[in-house]
Structure 1
């Protein structure tokens, strides 16, 4: 059974009583109706008469409620960024807000809120695809249920517009919100094509060829929707284990990425011959992927903004953050396996307290920690390593490495960063990368390779 994918074309019709959304390429699909001014949702079979067509849109970003009104946020312009495994990827270029009420007078507060959100949407890099799950790494995609609707396959952390999609998803899953109370309406699968997941972050796709063989370089950074914020306003961890400004960066190479070869899944390690990629199945589409994650130091800390150039740094007791840190690293280990915690902050000055708090936290999490410090004539401490003495429990899969990056590379001596890479050489080789293969025009069961991360 083919999966339900978001509509690629949506027409918007408006009337004083409602907005109607329908896909001209899918005339048999129900029309989504948003009643005005309540914001109640319903699906209508067939076209609605007596409404005026407003525009064609690329998708519905979501519905947001501000101080006085609700607004439907629609994507009015999207720019193609390239293809991944034959799937076109788009960047959000322009959005529009459709108010549910007609306000005769402008409210200064409401206008300010709208202006702030519009600025965020205009400047924030957001990407989506109608048929490819951008929120999941290639390995997680290989292990997912491709028969499910696209929005159900997403990684909740990187489903950036998940909050403003709440009304649509609640209606889809059987809960309506009518005039302030929930009303059970049953499952509404007809809503699936209207729910479009969007990723926030960075994406680059570069196509080239080597000896006539197609080759695609891909770099994707997915920003978590949890505890997001600007650098000085959001730091540390919260009680749910979410760290500030968490990102997952995936570097991938796709071999033989010919868009005409179809939209297949992975078929495991079928292309190896004598340890080399390729061989008899030279035209297999192959994905080689490596993933890293980053996030704020997982203790309770903040930088208090004042009129001074350098904010005051405050750290609460490490003990109070231990439970939250356990939640965070439990998820990290479940998703990524062993974690190498690479800390690059300054070991002197105001950042020293953050470094020491991080090391104290790791020592409290792992069993019988052992420490090793390596220094040279350039700096007192070049490396500081915390490792569990013996494997006892799940959190012993944490491995802490501090590298005095700023001191070691000062004076434009960037080559000294190689010292860190040498320190990480063994774990990188040990844990490898993910490799998936698509046999030409063959649908097979997916099989994953190795998926490891540095954090």
Structure 2
């Protein structure tokens, strides 16, 4: 395959970054230029020699390119500056990323400043031998260490080390002086300005308030280039320099840090503010420093991303030979399911710069050499390699990515290959297993130590996703032995029972199912009872076999795979998988004439290898090491291990409620699953949606289901259906939380449907005859002023429907028994409690009114009475989704031409008005708009049917946003963002 560049000299040129391939393996590979501002990648004709680039001082050496990270405010080159070799397969090296550098592409000055910081950190390490292990064995080593960067990106000045604190400093002075993460929060309490800055921002102000100062997330940005985001970008890539550099005036001049009291300012440089109308760019810019910190944490600090220049680590041995071609770039050969930086490398791939496109895989790679005597007493040399490959599909963190998606991909799906290399006979033995979440729709709350799983969607939807998942598994691996480790009794049983039911009804001889209640069977920390499971299904190890390769030829292929899961697919799963792996290697070595009596002691290192694998997978999914790791390592369980597990459980709980939300959004963004809109959603909710779940399809299904269930009269003609948000209580404008509902329009009535999206059921609905609709009002509907997006009047638009309850109207609630025409005081309470039973057959209640005994007269609604006029308020759901692939599905129930919130509301008003005029001829004389013709008197005023008027204006929303709500949001933003 065309060679990848192994060493790259990165130079800040006049009009862009130059990437100059260096080293003996880079001959014939030309330089590449990445333009400033635009981030365009193109082949360069610049013939700048390497020696000249080094002499210029504004260059550094990298060992690979991870990609290009772009946000609305700019782009950053992700360069791999440090690597460590972890394994060697067939003479080809495998590395783990241990450090990266983020080089901004805003301007030459900022790129140079970042490069100088990279070199400054390298100088600090120059006396060590850290870079020697990073040099290819067949490359010429010039004696210089590989340059790397520990640029801990920060949107605030670097905090001083602890030894700079003086004994006389007070707590308040120390906290404010540090200007750290919590320092910003404390400063609001101790400073004279207090919370005024945040109050201005929360009210939609981006500049100085009455007292002065800068808004918290959108502070004014100073720059030598005049770019409004250049200072934030520069701070975002600023490392924590050494102590002398931090205190020197020269360092402050280099970084442009003007936060100090005596910091010099350049009067010729303008101070600009972000444009308020660019909501996405502004919010993305304010969260960019955190995104860059998270990117660095994921790609380097985690030490969980691996690569090889000439070996496809994304494929097992059985698929390696047929997939590899010497004429095709490596990024085209790799398995896309494990290609983590595909989106980041798109600019290089699309421009044809394939020699820079270095595929990365997240997971775990480790290797151990061992000797073991054969039956004749001669020692044999073997190499055991463990490669775990984490799927990019449904990727993410513990409670934020569970179960399956509609395409059959499951969360925490990891393929683990145990590769035994017979060094003496040039043979490879590959045994592959897989772990993955239960292939059903379910969720668990992150706000509990032991949350109860909740099944979602209908049973047919779950069966469809289940079948899709296993069809893909069969196509990929052959036969399947599914091992389910969740509890048979207790809160996990609801998911386990459905899993077993779907597997039984699938009735496929190539899919075997075994339920082993790990907690019950191993009660009392007797984890050795896992052998009971191996006694029951261990034969599949030999039945499925493994892949054997000798002299680069496949002589035998693995016929099936063991798929293991528990709830998280971490702790219990790793214990069981390690036992299956142990069984496989024992059989393999025995067939290689190895003395079976020596296996027990010679293979003890496997325990440590698999325990490290479990820790790595666990950290990537739950941010902590695996539980039960003491047993995996020593095959013994004691009280100290149980106490350690309890500590890890508490740590997981803390991560679940604090750090995981933004990290999940960052992962989705880096994979290209979402757009920059994700940051707008995160700022408002401090969480993001699941891009694998098609929101358009879910809402379309809700409309169609509601239409089928609530419209009893077959003579009624369907006109339109929409999903909207409405206040938590009826006849109000601003009661939280707002709920998503379905609004249906026929030629005779409006249907207001409360829909249970998790169960695909209608929990309650109200039918309003069109004759009783008295008018419509549409306009700005501001429900919160906490973020800039929430005060945008173009994006926050709503509708109010005024009506009088009539005798023909219907209010029905779907409970365990049908309730009709309930009192309005109890209607909302009953609707909230209307949760269909788990074993309900059908969706909702499909009985028609004629099938139900008439309710008592005293419960009927009153006759039409003007004094009982009511209203329903609706707010448009944002049209711009963060999910890139999201499109509005064409349907007769939905207007596919709607492109924005205001257009959606106007189309709904138009449809309702047209239908009402058909049944009520008196409306034909009403004005089409809210204005009154000239010359009319007060007596001649005709109330328009459609009136354009703010439902809740920005000023009204500001008045109703209390200090407690503002402070609460500020605290949540300080913690989460």
TM-score by length of 1: 0.78
Alignment check: 8 A CA contact 1:124 1:200 kept: no
- State which of 413, 428, 439 in structure 2 corresponds to 1:246: 413
Name the residue aligned to 2:461. Answer: 320
Alignment check: 8 A CA contact 2:546 2:556 kept: no
Name the residue aligned to 2:355. Answer: 193
- State which of 387, 398, 413 in structure 1 corresponds to 2:526: 413
How does 1:243-392 map onto structure 2 within 5 Å? Answer: 243-256=410-423, 283-306=424-447, 308-316=448-456, 317-366=458-507, 388=508
SS of residue in 2 equivalent to 1:328: helix
- State which of 557, 562, 565 in structure 2 corresponds to 1:449: 557
Distance change in 2, residues 1:5/1:361 (3 Å): farther
SS of residue in 2 equivalent to 1:61: strand
- State which of 376, 384, 398 in structure 2 corresponds to 1:217: 384
Alignment check: 8 A CA contact 1:299 1:318 kept: no
Distance change in 2, residues 1:350/1:357 (3 Å): same
- The one-character-per-residue Cα deviations of 1:236-268 (angstroms, maximum 9, x if unpaired) are 111222100100011111011xxxxxxxxxxxx
- The one-character-per-residue Cα deviations of 1:413-440 (angstroms, maximum 9, x if unpaired) are 22221111111133222211110011xx
Name the residue aligned to 1:114. Answer: 292
Name the residue aligned to 1:129. Answer: 308
How does 1:32-51 map onto structure 2 within 5 Å? Answer: 32-45=32-45, 47-48=47-48
Name the residue aligned to 1:8. Answer: 6
SS of residue in 2 equivalent to 1:321: helix
- State which of 84, 97, 101 in structure 2 corresponds to 1:96: 101
TM-score by length of 2: 0.37
How many angstroms does 1:48 deviate by?
4.3
Alignment check: 8 A CA contact 2:106 2:230 kept: no
How does 1:20-59 map onto structure 2 within 5 Å? Answer: 20-25=18-23, 26-45=26-45, 47-48=47-48, 52=56, 53-59=58-64
How many angstroms does 1:292 deviate by?
0.4
Q: What is the number of equivalent residue pairs in this alignment?
A: 375
Distance change in 2, residues 1:412/1:104 (3 Å): closer
**Which structure would you say has the larger RCO, counting Cα contacts within 8 Å and 6 or more residues apart?**
1
SS of residue in 1 equivalent to 2:67: strand
SS of residue in 2 equivalent to 1:237: coil
Distance change in 2, residues 1:413/1:104 (3 Å): closer
What is the CA–CA distance in structure 1 between the aligned matches of 2:499 and 2:475, rounded to whole Å? 21
SS of residue in 2 equivalent to 1:216: strand
Distance change in 2, residues 1:22/1:451 (3 Å): farther
Name the residue aligned to 1:269. Answer: none
What is the CA–CA distance in structure 2 between the aligned matches of 1:248 and 1:451, rounded to whole Å? 16
- The one-character-per-residue Cα deviations of 1:306-342 (angstroms, maximum 9, x if unpaired) are 3x33334221233212333333222211111001111
RMSD value over aligned CA atoms? 2.0
Unmatched 5+ stretches in structure 2: 108-228, 233-284, 373-377, 564-977
Alignment check: 8 A CA contact 2:361 2:389 kept: yes
Distance change in 2, residues 1:340/1:445 (3 Å): closer
What is the CA–CA distance in structure 1 between the aligned matches of 2:518 and 2:451, rounded to whole Å? 22
Unmatched 5+ stretches in structure 1: 173-190, 257-282, 367-387, 389-395, 439-443
Alignment check: 8 A CA contact 1:39 1:100 kept: yes
Name the residue aligned to 2:919. Answer: none
- The one-character-per-residue Cα deviations of 1:269-300 (angstroms, maximum 9, x if unpaired) are xxxxxxxxxxxxxx431001100001010111
What is the CA–CA distance in structure 2 between the aligned matches of 1:19 and 1:448, rounded to whole Å? 49
How many angstroms does 1:412 deviate by?
2.2
- State which of 421, 424, 429 in structure 1 corresponds to 2:542: 429
Q: Which 10-residue stretch deviates more, 128-137 or 161-170?
A: 161-170
